[in-house]
Amino acid sequence: MNIGEVATASGLPAKTIRYYEDIGLLRAARGANGYRHFDDRDVRMLSFVSRARSLGFSIDDCRSLLSLYADRDRASADVKRIAREHLTGIAKKITELEAMRDTLEDLVSRCQGDDHPDCPILDGLAGAEVPQ
């Protein structure tokens, strides 16, 4: 399989796959013409990475997960730890975004949104009191 086919199969752009090779996430075999070629294992591996990335795992997380994935003797506890740490990070981001949303919703709701220059949003951003 050439890179284009793998891109379609794995859901990752060809550019991204080359990039992953560049940073050592994978090694690709080369044909006589210099083209990379891939087998089903590569496709599975790239799909794995694609899924993990879409769940917000960093490239470094992916490296760890891939080595655990490849290691027949790994303990599931190791994987669970990485996933748990990641969950904590996600939960924190959600909390922060919700706080942003609440503040901003409050500011927006106070704003008339008309031709007048008075704007509670700008006032709020400028540091004026924004009571609960």
| Position 60 contacts DNA (CB under 7 A) | yes
Candidates 1-9, 14-22, 28-36, 79-87 — which segment interacts with a copy of itself by CB under 8 A? 79-87
Residue closer to DNA by CB (options 58, 88) is 58
Residue closer to a copy of itself by CB (options 26, 119) is 119
Length of the chain: 132
| Position 35 contacts DNA (CB under 7 A) | yes
Residue closer to a copy of itself by CB (options 33, 109) is 109
| Position 84 contacts a copy of itself (CB under 8 A) | yes
**58-74: burial string, b at 16+ Cβ within 10 Å, e else:** eeebbeebbeebeeeee
| Position 33 contacts DNA (CB under 7 A) | yes
